[in-house]
Structure 1
């Protein structure tokens, strides 16, 4: 028996060694792609971090040298930077609530059977395939223009005074554009999650006398937990980098009321030509994105664990 056990152990070790040797070439085949991705990410980030510690203004080429923390101190003392940071966080938070809320509502609607569901799904998803620049131009010229926009025409039909949305409510207008553009993404992902919902669980809770709210609260939401986590993470990354909608509509104004962090960096580079300060702001944006991602991971993971424990 001891000899048999020893033989089985040697056979298992030999099989594991052969499997390891077989997989070794595959790892080396992935090495070029991994190296390319590392260079693609690390080189621009390293150059940005380097220039954030230097005096580098394209309008003053003679003024150069090591700036130390001077660029970061300039950001710290710049009220526009803090305003842009707050606006960025506000856009991310409000757009997440809007897109996930509406996306979940539409997903529950389109999960049901009704006449014309395929056409309705296509129309609901269509805004996601519109480029951000085109989204900004559509909302600025076709919808929100106070003279000949659709919203102005509707206001006149009901005897109301047209509203200059981009002038009076600029930040709300930007949030509406981004929400309109990204709600279809949340709809697609959440609808995919709903389609994998086990029907036997729903039938079981219905037989136990659960109403629609209990069914939604205790079956649908826990089932969509991981899906919502993915939507939150992906959308947060894109909301933190929102730029085209602001560039094509308000240009950060009126004043700085719609200047978020990406547009602040753009102005520092192309209006002030200050590479040092803009690089410091870019590093701050990377740090913000990482802190935001860590916070979301812990928050969502904590809620998922709490739901599983219940």
Structure 2
């Protein structure tokens, strides 16, 4: 009986927090769904009217929609490829004894704490500027023509900037997993005549499998909503070459002032993100259980 009262009291104490969290999520979602069924433009206040599914039809048939979906997937896959491979390599490097190891680890992890807007500005003005940037100076030093990164390869430039921000996170997770590997396993492999590549592929990499899946899961959730880097550097251009789904919704709302269409796009983005998360969690869950 006492246990029942204790559980009831605990649930009662948790109820306000649960209700507040529920309201925090449900109210904005409900408002977005409501606006998605209205013909609502900020330039025409007081002219709102019911539009049915026309906003969804307009958004899903917009030629920019499919380009935005493709760009979103390319950003996610490109950043994951760079950060997972780079994170493993950096983890292997940082796991080796070296002078000033602690300082080196702090420097490697530091970019993760830089705000996306600041990071994008640094890359835009100090590294990728076609006139005064570091990459332009290196190209001129070797007699090559500097690349106008954001005009020639805008999406690749975004991938590099975002990957630079997330590489420290992947490195930290990989390094933590690597340090949990029993040294006796590596010593036994060396005694059996295993070389560095054999140790890596048959001992180290299988041991890091769970860390890799965690990195993929967490980064995918955040990479689906990359925005600041695109806004600061390319504004989705040239044209729509670097427009992802998040930026497309922003452009619909705050550049075209179409709140109804942007709300429909936001709901579509939420649905697609949940589909990706569902299959990703199932896939990674099976991997973790194995």
Q: Same fold (TM over 0.5)?
A: yes
The 10-residue stretch of structure 1 (210-219 or 184-193) with the greater mean CA deviation from structure 2: 210-219
CA-based RMSD of the aligned residues comes to: 1.8
Aligned to 1:299: 283
Aligned to 1:154: 138
Task: Work out the CA distance in 2 between the residues paired with 1:129 and 1:89.
Answer: 25
Match of 1:210 among 166, 170, 194: 194
User: Matched residue pairs, number?
Assistant: 290
1:110-135 C-alpha deviation (Å, 9 max, x unpaired): 11211121121111111111111111
* Aligned counterparts, 1:81-120, within 5 A: 81-120=65-104
Instruction: Determine if contact 1:222/1:304 at 8 Å carries over to the other structure.
Output: no
Residue 268 of structure 1: how far off its partner (Å): 0.7
Instruction: Determine if contact 2:217/2:284 at 8 Å carries over to the other structure.
Output: no
Moved over 6 A (4+): none
Instruction: Determine if contact 2:59/2:65 at 8 Å carries over to the other structure.
Output: yes
Aligned to 2:240: 256
TM-score, normalised by the number of residues in structure 2: 0.93
* Aligned counterparts, 1:235-254, within 5 A: 235-254=219-238
Residue 104 of structure 1: how far off its partner (Å): 1.2
Which of the pair has more CA radius of gyration? 1
* Aligned counterparts, 1:6-85, within 5 A: 18-85=2-69
Q: Does 1:145 align with 2:129?
A: yes
Match of 2:217 among 224, 233, 253: 233
Task: Work out the CA distance in 1 between the residues paired with 2:265 and 2:239.
Answer: 19
TM-score, normalised by the number of residues in structure 1: 0.88
Residue 226 of structure 1: how far off its partner (Å): 2.5
Task: Work out the CA distance in 1 between the residues paired with 2:192 and 2:13.
Answer: 55
Task: Work out the CA distance in 2 between the residues paired with 1:93 and 1:20.
Answer: 50
Structure 1's unaligned 5+ residue stretches are 1-16
The 10-residue stretch of structure 1 (109-118 or 180-189) with the greater mean CA deviation from structure 2: 109-118
1:242-288 C-alpha deviation (Å, 9 max, x unpaired): 11111111111111101111111111111111111101111111111
The 10-residue stretch of structure 1 (89-98 or 57-66) with the greater mean CA deviation from structure 2: 57-66
Task: Work out the CA distance in 2 between the residues paired with 1:227 and 1:50.
Answer: 41
Aligned to 1:219: 203
Residue 125 of structure 1: SS of its match in structure 2?
helix
Structure 2's unaligned 5+ residue stretches are none
Task: Work out the CA distance in 1 between the residues paired with 2:16 and 2:196.
Answer: 52
